[in-house]
Amino acid sequence: MSQPRDYRLHEGTVIDHLPVGSAARALELLGLPREGSITVGINVPSPSQGQKDIVRVEGLFLEKHESDRLALLGEHITVSIVRDGAVAEKTVLDVPDRLLGILACRNPTCITNEEQVQTVFLKQGGFPYHFRCAYCERVSATEA
Amino acid sequence: MADHVHAGKAFFGRSVVSAEDFTKDEILALLDAARSYDRFEDGTPSFQPVPATLQGRVLGLLFFEPSTRTRLSFESAMLRLGGSVLGFADARISSFSKGETLVDTIRVVEGYCDAIVLRHPKEGAARLAAEVARVPVLNGGDGSNQHPTQTFLDLYTIREAAGQLDGLKVGFMGDLRYGRTVHSLASALLHFDVDLKFIGPENLRLPSDLRGQLKQAGRLGAEVTQLADAGDLDVLYVTRIQKERFPDPMDYERVRNAYRVDREALAPLGENLKILHPLPRVNEVATEVDDLPGAIYFQQSRNGVTVRMALLDLILGGRAGAGAS
Ligand SMILES: [Zn+2]
């Protein structure tokens, strides 16, 4: 039996080294599927992680607020931008120390849940990340 | 001392959202300034007559939830410095709250006054107000989050009563988990060489992040459920245990009787023990304790005025402008 064709991208983005089980959440965060073919690998063997998830999206190029959100899913997630069938740029996602406007505060009595204000969260320590709301000062764990 | 005088200038035009925003030198500068408003005559505290350094200045008091003590204390402080106050004591009787956002209210009221005291039920309200206001915002309590002037007056009270802050054994008793005053004061005391002890019921123990912070600083002296097990103390800070924390009213009754201090419970701790309470008390401190020389909770409440006088004067540049120390 012949193997399916290799799902190489022509123009698009490969999100690799996602923790196992996070591919679906990654698609949800990015509002996918949209147009363009998507291939998703789940429980893919990985020399460095044992297993990983991987998402390849044709025609997608991430905005900063999207990569900031993806970064919350795990450590060492990589994003490769593919142009003309070749990797043009590869970055390891990093969670910024200050997250601006991309998370909502879990504290129901936080002022940010009442007023029109951009949220500000300060990263506390390493993965799994905890964030301190700059307004109500509560620290919470965040599954992106 | 020179450092403190310099640090005092750092208050000018500044908002006061959280005690954690201030350095040790800045806090000491504030406490030194507060002392200049206190006068003791034959052991009776009174206020030092001071020039009307804030004459013509207006303080806005925006109390979106009632807190009579905090409001009257700020009012007294501003009036004693020759200034005036305006505002509302309860948002329910003010047209300001009718659908208007906090940000809009602040932008309107900043046009009426030179500084704003904000009390608000939502955590983070003061931080937001301070960001948008062109005048300094003083946090008079934002939900369960911060109440920095309470922390400053607590520090002032302990320092004046004990003579210094370094070297003290300070016990906190009551609701250690949700008690905002406990958390802020314990954090602020980390600036000093203190031994902190905590006495409270199992279900109201310290939050883990604060415990970690205290441990890391090497200041966590003891965590016990009985006052008798706390060992020596120079200061005992008692707080109220709220009924809402107990789903079973029976548990609440049991706990509130276990964490009530009377003369008998305090006797082993000696005559030099200073007893503080942020007030109002329910029954945590028996009235028979009031006559002990170490019972200084009413003095503590009164100190709120001198500390707020110092804060308002430094922020609005009353004496800083005149170059007085
Ligand atoms: Zn918040």
H/E segment holding residue A114 = none
Give φ, ψ of A63 to 5 degrees: -85, 160
What is the domain class of A98-141 according to CATH?
mainly beta
* pLDDT over 50 at B324, yes or no: no
CA-closest candidate to residue A59, choices A25, A23, A77, A33: A33
For the segment B29-52, what is each residue's pLDDT rounded down to a tens digit? 999 999 999 887 666 777 888 889
Whole-number Å distance between alpha carbons of A143 and A99? 14
For the segment B53-110, what is each residue's pLDDT rounded down to a tens digit? 999 999 999 999 999 999 999 999 999 999 999 999 887 767 666 678 999 999 999 9
CB contact under 8 A, B101 and A115: yes
CB contact under 8 A, A107 and B123: yes
Q: What are the boundaries of each domain within chain A?
A: 12-92, 98-141
Token code pair at residue B98: 């009718």
B187 contact partners, CB below 8 Å, separation of at least 6: B19, B20, B210, B213
Q: Does domain B148-300 have CATH number 3.40.50.1370?
A: yes
CA-based nearest distance B125→chain A, Å: 5
CB contact under 8 A, A115 and B128: yes
DSSP letter at A4 equals P
B2-146+302-323 with B148-300: one CATH topology? Answer: yes
Share of chain A above pLDDT 90, in %: 64
Whether B182 contacts B223, CB under 8 Å? no
Share of chain A above pLDDT 70, in %: 93
Of B103, B122, B209, the CB nearest to A139: B209
> Which of B62, B64, B100, B128 best tests the A interface by mutation, with the highest count of A CBs <10 A?
B128
For the segment B116-171, what is each residue's pLDDT rounded down to a tens digit? 999 999 999 999 999 999 999 999 999 999 999 999 999 999 999 999 999 999 99
Tell me whether strands B38-41 and B195-199 are parallel, antiparallel or unpaired.
unpaired
| Residues linked to residue B47 through DSSP beta bridges, in sequence order | B38
pTM for this model (two decimals): 0.89
Select B2-146+302-323's CATH number: 3.30.360.10, 2.10.109.10, 1.10.10.10, 3.40.50.1370: 3.40.50.1370
Provide the phi-psi class of A66: left if phi over 0, else alpha when psi is between -120 and 50, else beta.
alpha
**Exposure class string for B16-41: b at 16+ Cβ within 10 A, else e:** bbbbeebeebbbbbbbbbbebbbeee
Q: Which residues in chain A touch residue B122, judged by CB atoms under 8 angstroms apart?
A: 109-111, 114, 136
A108 contact partners, CB below 8 Å, separation of at least 6: none
User: Which amino acid is residue A61, in one-letter code?
Assistant: F
Q: How confident is the model at residue B247 (pLDDT cuts 50, 70, 90)?
A: confident
What is the domain class of A12-92 according to CATH?
alpha beta
User: Which amino acid is residue B126, in one-letter code?
Assistant: A
Whole-number Å distance between alpha carbons of B323 and A117? 40
Low-confidence ranges of chain A (pLDDT < 50): 1
Q: What are the boundaries of each domain within chain B?
A: 2-146+302-323, 148-300
Tell me whether strands B137-142 and B115-120 are parallel, antiparallel or unpaired.
parallel
CA-closest candidate to residue B113, choices B147, B81, B78: B78
Q: Is B145 in the A-facing interface, judged by CB distances under 8 Å?
A: yes
Angle of helix B148-162 versus helix B68-80 axis, rounded to 10: 70
Tell me what pLDDT residue B60 has.
98
Whole-number Å distance between alpha carbons of B155 and B225? 25
Give φ, ψ of B302 to 5 degrees: -65, -35
Q: Any idea how long chain A is?
A: 144
Whole-number Å distance between alpha carbons of B311 and B299? 18
